[in-house]
Every structure is written in C-alpha cells, then in structure tokens.
Structure 1
C-alpha cells in the first residue's frame, strides 16, 4: 500500500501535468524563472547540469535547454564559463537589474500609485508603445500612453509627465474601464487561482511533497504568477472593479511560496552547484523575500 508521501507525490504529478497542459512552458522563460527564484538571490552563476535536471522535471528536453541557453547568451542575459569539463552560466549585469525589479514586484509590498503620462518623441513610436503596454500602460494616442506604476526601460526618447488625481477619484473605475482591458487581466488571475488552488489543498494535512517536487512546484508557481503580474497594469484599488481577483491570487501565491520553500531550499542546497561549491540553502536575499511575504499574510 502506498504511504501518504507516495499518494501526495502521485497527486502532485497529476496536478503538474494538468497545469502544464493548460499553460505550457517555454524553455527560455522557465530558465529565466530558475535564475530569478534560485540562482540570483544566492549569487549569479550555476552549473548547466542543474538547469537540465530541473527543466527535465517539467518536460523540457536537454536539447531545448541548451538551445535556450545559447539564445539567452546571444541576448546578453547570460555569459558562459568552464571549469574542467563542466559549463556554468552567469547572469549578465543588465539581467541582474531586471531580476531585482521583478523580485520587488513578486515579494515586496504593493507599490503606491505613480500616475504619469509618456509622450514618445523618437522614431518608431509604435514599438515603444508596445513595450509600455506590456508593462501595463494604456495607449492614448499614436505617441502617448498613461500608467499608474513604474516606467519600464525605454530605448527611445520620451517626455514623461508626472500626474496626480486632483478630483474625480470616484470616477477612476470608469477611466480605467475606458483605457484598459481589465477583463483580460481578471481572467488571467482567475485562471491562476484555478490552476494552483488545488495545490493548496494538496499541501493540507499530512500530505508532503518531496524536496525535488517542492522546488518544481515553487518554480512553476513563480513562473505562472510572474507572467500574470508583469502584464497587470496594477492600478490602485479605487480604479479596480469590486470583484477584482488580483488580491486572492496574491494571497494564494504568498501562502504557497511560504509552504513550499523549506523543502525547495533544501533541494537547492543538496543539488545546485557553482564552480566554487554548492549553492547555500538560504541567503540574506532569500530570507528577506520570505520575511516580506510573511509580513503580508
């Protein structure tokens, strides 16, 4: 007869397959998640074998991993180095800055509203407007966008106007509904809740995942939540519908991340290595992340 641990593992495997079937992973994006969740807060370099083993657990082949790593190197996000017969990949400086910004969003307290207008002055404004839209801004014209959160890096010149709500705050919801497709973002949050709500149930009671499964579960959790949050305009509460599911998704993410971390971090310490030795189970950055999440519970 299977014990509770074996039953939990079987249930987790079925749940993981269901999540990945509904929202398949791309190798490069998942490798970025591994660096952001595991590697960056403990340094910036890891053995290629760890990437291959972790990706294999979610159905990404070694060939796809090596192809994705090569593309990330070509894009200036990773740089490679060898130690004996092993290859290691290190985060490039621009990638570290991007990862730090994403970590603040995932683990830090909610951002205060920072309304601003962006008027693009250079050539090809449509490309820059697409960058702004992906970062949650709304297009108001062929060169003009508005946003309530931090401005993403732009490669084109722009004039940025700071703004504040002087009156009509009760009508912010109507303003937001006119300029953002909030239903699209709400559906993304509800889909996240539907995928990962069963994981919370799986972790209740005596069920436990193995250390390796805990890490895989946390990585897939971070990957899926990051994709939703990075596209969310993250408007202030006054501008959101009354039934906005973003807060419920945030609570689910926070609770699951805290529950999965002890075993996930033990797996990292036992298996992930650099040229100088194993990655630590915890670091100042990982402890700070968990402390910030616990404060929000």
Structure 2
C-alpha cells in the first residue's frame, strides 16, 4: 500500500499532542481491541503493539503490574511467557463503558432521576469519597452534599460500583421526577449547578478540532494498518475520557447546539473508516497462549450502530 503522507503527519501530531499515561492507554487498548478478541494476550506482543505510542517495555511492564494489582488484569505464566487477561470484575467494568461508548445512547427520557444518598447509613468518609469519584465517572452530578444525581443512570454499572465499595446496604438509592411546578428554566439552572457543562463543552470542542482534519484526510486516502490502529486507539482514548465524565443529559436540559452530539457522530464516522485496517494490525501483532489472535466476537460489529454502514456527514 502506498504511503499517505498527510495521514502519517496527522497521526504523528496526534501522538505528540496527547499526554499518554501507560496504565490508562492499556485500559483503552484492552477495552477497545483486546476484549473483543477474547481478552488475553502475550505481554511481549502487547509491548510491540503499544510501542508506536512512545511507551517503552519498562513502562508497559510497570503499567501491567499495577493493573494486575488493581484487579483489572490477571497473569498466567506458560514457560517463560506471561499472558494477561481481563479479570471477571474488569469485564463488568468494560461492559459498562462499552455501553456508554459504542451503543446508541439517544433514548427518550422518562423524566426520571436516580438519586444516591451516601451519608445516611454509616458509610465511612474514605469509602464515601471513593464511591463519589467512581459515580462521577459514571456521569453523576452533586445535587447536594452527599447526594448524587443522574437522569439516565446505567443500573448495572451503579450496582457494580456499590458492590465494589461494599456500599449496597450503606447508601439509599431513590428515583424521582420533577414536579409540574418546576419550570424548564429552573431545571436547566439545577443542571448547571450539578455539572460543569462549560468544561465538558470545551473538551468536546477540543476533540472536534483535533480529529476533524483526520476525517478530511481519510476521504482522500487510507492509512496503513499500524497507523489505523494508532488512530483508532487515540480516537477512543480521547473520546472515552470525555464521554465517561458526560452525564449524557437529555436534550431537554442541555444548551442548544450541544457539541457532544457532533463529537459522537465524528467518532463513529472515523472509527468506521479505520477499524478494518486496525483489525488487520491487531491480528498480525498480538499473540495468545493458543497462538494467533482469534477473530473478533460478533458484538464487535455492532459498535456505533453497525460498522458496515455508510459514513454520515459531520457538520463542519
């Protein structure tokens, strides 16, 4: 395949312009690329896979060790080789993130809010703060001291977080809806008090500015498999870091022309353009204990509403 200099230059600029922590990037790689192929790979092949991001062998080994300590990964030793697989608990966390990132989120809002009261049943302060941080990553906002709120919470992810923090019997989860006396303006003011929409909007606009030039370049040519993998990984890495802070508020309470909508469309379109070449790179680079990487599981093709669909236009 002939080189595409513009795509190579954009890829290099994206790598240079991204502050990459090895541990966080490897979580992205497992969730986006490795889990659909069974979830377990030889460490040596993982080191080769992430080398284009500027991560050296020592950095990868340290990150994998920490992920194992944090129960994201588990090791299997076969001869002199170490293989690392996602743990059962990590698969549940990846599943929750997968629904946020790849599934169609735009469901009609039932006007219901999920409220989590964390300071009424004896939850220790340190555990309460740890739970608050995790629920914030799920999109919960602070409605009042020790009361978190979400208009469209993922029930499975919420239950998993409560179990992980031994808090199932130490918090109160309620469901509520706005009274008819609540005005639309009052509800929007409440949302702005609970979530930093200005920062979220700025982050989405930065994402659009970083990746829109790539869409234009891909319309004129195709990346080589390694570049496609790097682009796909950076795309999801950047997008998930914003999206997992996004409460996915319904349109009724969002500002007009919300950039999260355009960001999701851009991410979907770019992913569809690079995913096939990226998959070829994965298949030739990663190894498992049984040999070559197995084909992706069927659910992989369902991402973003179907990876075989035509690319939609993205607003300039």
TM-score (norm 2): 0.85
Asked whether the equivalents of residues 115 and 164 of structure 1 are also in contact (C-alpha less than 8 Å), the reply is yes
Would you say 1:60 and 2:73 are equivalent positions? no
**CA displacement 1:97-153 (0-9 Å, x = unmatched):** 011111111111115445111111312134433333332222133321211232531
Gap runs ≥5 in structure 2: none
Q: How does 1:1-297 map to 2 (within 5 A)?
A: 5-6=2-3, 8=4, 10-110=5-105, 112=107, 113=109, 115-120=113-118, 121=120, 122-124=123-125, 125-150=128-153, 152=158, 153-154=161-162, 155=165, 156=167, 157-167=170-180, 168=182, 170-171=184-185, 172-205=187-220, 207-289=221-303, 291-292=305-306, 294=309
Distance 1:68 1:119 in 2: 34
TM-score (norm 1): 0.91
SS, match of residue 46 in structure 1: strand
Rate the CA distance shift 1:276–1:126 in 2: closer, same or farther, 3 A: closer
Q: CA deviation at 1:190?
A: 0.6
Q: CA deviation at 1:87?
A: 1.7
SS, match of residue 241 in structure 1: coil
Distance 1:104 1:296 in 2: 21
Distance 1:128 1:38 in 2: 28
Q: CA deviation at 1:169?
A: 6.0
Out of 185-194 and 106-115, give the one that drifted further: 106-115
Asked whether the equivalents of residues 103 and 305 of structure 2 are also in contact (C-alpha less than 8 Å), the reply is no
Rate the CA distance shift 1:252–1:169 in 2: closer, same or farther, 3 A: farther
Out of 123-132 and 157-166, give the one that drifted further: 123-132
Q: CA deviation at 1:48?
A: 1.0
Rate the CA distance shift 1:65–1:186 in 2: closer, same or farther, 3 A: same
Distance 1:291 1:140 in 2: 33
**CA displacement 1:145-175 (0-9 Å, x = unmatched):** 2112325313132101112234346233222
SS, match of residue 136 in structure 1: coil
Rate the CA distance shift 1:213–1:295 in 2: closer, same or farther, 3 A: closer
**CA displacement 1:222-244 (0-9 Å, x = unmatched):** 11111010011111011100021
SS, match of residue 149 in structure 1: coil
